[in-house]
Amino acid sequence: QFHPTGIDIGRDPAPLATEALRGEGAALINQRGERFMLSVHPDAELAPRDVVARGIFREIKAGRRVYLDARQAVGARFADAFPTVFAACQAVGINPALAPIPVAPAAHYHMGGLATDDLGRTTVNGLWAVGECASTGVHGANRLASNSLLEAVVFGARAAADMDAQSPPERSILLLTPPALGGRGRDMKTMRQVMTRFVGLERDGVGLAQALAQISALMAGLKAEPMAQNQAMAALLIAAGAYQRTESRGGHFRTDYRRTAPDWAHRTFLTLKDALSIAERARAEQGSGANALFAAAGT
Ligand SMILES: Cc1cc2nc3c(=O)[nH]c(=O)nc-3n(C[C@H](O)[C@H](O)[C@H](O)COP(=O)(O)OP(=O)(O)OC[C@H]3O[C@@H](n4cnc5c(N)ncnc54)[C@H](O)[C@@H]3O)c2cc1C
């Protein structure tokens, strides 16, 4: 899921301009001062998150910068009402009470994840998953703001109670410690670029095939680095799921399948083996187009 209004000030990760600002009446304008969302959706700035994110994305793709203008709606109340956003803007010399905030969509939340049941159990005996890494199905294709914390609290309690009721495990699994997080810099940069370009706000079959080919190649080179390989594996599963879902729904938008298809109104579950065979199929189906992209990218 992409958040519509990351604050576009060159920080990584981008701080967010909370959606409550649009709720207060802040307007999205492009560099010409046009409220472009009026022509995108009847609810304009208050359209669903994915619609607003794509509206902004298309303006930026067309070469126009986008701003969130809270001058009239919030104005002098800004610092008190939205202190976090105010501080992020102030840090780069923007006073959002007096000037529009530059914004761009940002990758925000991972809908989907490890398949779990109502108690947070995965298909691996003795392994529970809760929170953003789990796929409970509660978010559909377009998580509503704040539902992830609700999900973490509800399923966290359920999983804890379920674990409590079990006898202690006979053996424990070796955990990788957080300092090992993150792959090799160059590979991670490439993977982020591939995901942004081909598995971003708008996808199509040719681009997804290209992403699958590049991620598979990266994965093969990361065998000695389990954390980086895990990240590549997650990317591969996301791209494979997007390739096989030949429709658009919520945060998943295919320019070659723009409509929502009733037949796809369900979750999909993939193993790594499934994802690799989808990558093979994509290579065969999209071969020439994906190869042309591959050559154009020079990678
Ligand atoms: C800017 C921002 C604003 C948000 N605002 C909202 C909001 O208003 N409302 C809402 O509902 N949701 C919001 N979300 C989403 C929500 O914050 C997340 O979905 C939620 O925090 C996920 O919690 P989690 O415990 O599943 O994962 P995390 O909070 O990501 O915790 C995972 C932890 O596991 C650790 N870890 C990772 N790998 C390992 C390892 N191998 N070994 C040991 N430890 C490991 C990490 O260091 C981390 O501490 C927001 C997200 C962002 C980014």
Does position 171 have pLDDT exceeding 50, yes or no? yes
Does position 184 have pLDDT exceeding 90, yes or no? no
Number of structural domains, the chain?
3
153 lines ligand 1 (CB under 6 A): no
- Closest residue by Cα to atom 41, ligand 1, is 176
ipTM of the complex: 0.96
- Closest residue by Cα to atom 33, ligand 1, is 178
pLDDT in tens, 260-275: 999 999 999 999 999 9
Tell whether 187 and 293 lie within a shared domain. yes
Q: What is the CATH number of the domain that holds 30?
A: 3.90.700.10
Tell whether 205 and 264 lie within a shared domain. yes
1 lines ligand 1 (CB under 6 A): no
Tell whether 24 and 58 lie within a shared domain. yes
Nearest-angstrom CA–CA distance, 112 and 135? 4
Tell whether 236 and 257 lie within a shared domain. yes
Identify the top-confidence range among 57-66, 140-149, 283-292: 57-66
Does position 178 have pLDDT exceeding 70, yes or no? no
Does position 291 have pLDDT exceeding 90, yes or no? no
Strand extents, DSSP E, 62-156:
66-69, 101-107, 114-115, 134-135
Does position 289 have pLDDT exceeding 80, yes or no? no
Q: Do the domain assignments include residue 176?
A: no
280: CA distance to ligand 1 center in Å? 33
- Beta-carbon contacts of residue 80 (< 8 Å; ≥ 6 apart): none
Q: Do the domain assignments include residue 173?
A: no
Q: Do the domain assignments include residue 7?
A: yes
Tell whether 45 and 143 lie within a shared domain. no
Please tell me the predicted confidence (pLDDT) of residue 8.
97
User: Which residue segment(s) compose the domain that 118 sits in?
Assistant: 114-164
Nearest-angstrom CA–CA distance, 19 and 23? 6
Does position 35 have pLDDT exceeding 90, yes or no? yes
Please tell me the predicted confidence (pLDDT) of residue 65.
98
Q: Of 22, 49, 158, 249, which is the active-site residue?
A: 49
136 lines ligand 1 (CB under 6 A): no
Does position 135 have pLDDT exceeding 70, yes or no? yes
Q: Mean pLDDT, to the nearest integer, of 127-139? A: 94
Please tell me the predicted confidence (pLDDT) of residue 292.
56
Q: Do the domain assignments include residue 169?
A: no
- CB-based burial, 47-76: b 16+ in 10 Å, e otherwise: bebbbbbbbbbebbeeeeebbbbbbebbee
Asked about 35 being catalytic, the answer comes back as no
Please tell me the predicted confidence (pLDDT) of residue 297.
47
User: Measured from the CA of 110, which atom of ligand 1 is nearest?
Assistant: 19
